[in-house]
Amino acid sequence: MLTTENLHEILEYMHMNYSSEIMKGLGAFGLDEKEVKVYLAGLEIGTATVLELSRRTTLPRTTLYPILERLEHQGVFKVGKQKNTTVYIAELPDVLKRHLDDRAQLFAKTVPALEIIQDTVHDGPGVTFYEGSDGFKRIWKAIMSSGVKEYRLITSGTGLLDYVKEPYIVKRVIAERLEKKIVSKQLIPDSRDARKIVEKDKEELRESRFLPANIKLPSTVIIFADQVAFITTRKENTMILLASGDVALTYRTLFDLIWDKAETGKSV
């Protein structure tokens, strides 16, 4: 038999479980935690005054008024009058679903226009700045997702380790490059560290040529597709991704000129 005590226990159990499926579902509608709490209280009560909602949610009325105003604007609550008192009625779940479907259809209609804007941005020259380890990872993500099968690299070989540890380079960057079968061509100043890197060229799908040992390259330049990435030292902590077909062609041409003069396995 369902007693008053049992009913309170059931309701309490339901409230405790709002934080899972229901909270996520209403969160998808754009409601935050307090707004979800108010909507559920309104759904349980039916037609409710601010005082009743305040008691059910334990939120003060001064907090409830702006929340209810937002929810009314979003179409989650309707506002009415009952004996000269303002009352709030929570919209039924199927009404909210229709609102969400309408929004989805409206957004779907804008997607072609948004894609045109995106294509316009990516096809033209553009500059993006990054910083720190996260910026370094974003640069490499751009390279790996560009669809290229080869990129050119001018580097000291060790400067990149200022941003990430060697295991990240090997297990993430190089591993993904191998998986995608992306070849790298590398110009690197001759040094003991450089020769250790070059020893692994075959297994790491890379071809390297040495620059003179006295060449100083504090920054790294990566040429891929129609973009050029510049990675400075950790001291300057700046990365620049330049999207320009003309600039990429210029750097690719300069790289190839130096490449033809450099020799594999020894300094020029």
What domains can you pick out in the chain, each with its CATH number? 4-94 (1.10.10.10), 125-261 (3.30.870.10)
pLDDT at 137: 86
The answer to whether 88 and 75 are in contact (CB under 8 A) is no
Residue 64 to residue 52: CA distance in whole angstroms: 11
Q: What count of residues does the chain have?
A: 268
Which residue has tokens 């005082």? 51
pLDDT at 20: 65
pLDDT at 267: 42
The answer to whether 41 and 48 are in contact (CB under 8 A) is yes
Q: What 8-state DSSP symbol labels residue 174? A: I
The answer to whether 19 and 8 are in contact (CB under 8 A) is no
Residue 228 to residue 248: CA distance in whole angstroms: 6
pLDDT at 117: 59
The answer to whether 231 and 220 are in contact (CB under 8 A) is yes
pLDDT at 2: 45
| pLDDT values of the chain reduced to their tens digit, one per residue, 268 residues | 445 455 444 444 445 455 567 777 777 777 888 888 899 999 888 888 999 999 998 999 999 999 999 999 888 899 999 888 899 999 888 888 888 888 888 888 887 777 665 554 444 568 889 888 888 888 888 999 899 999 999 998 777 777 777 788 878 888 998 999 999 999 999 989 889 889 999 999 999 999 999 888 889 999 999 999 999 887 888 889 999 999 999 999 999 999 999 877 644 4
Cα Rg of the chain (Å, integer): 30
pLDDT at 8: 45
- Report the predicted TM-score, pTM, of the whole model to 2 decimal places: 0.54
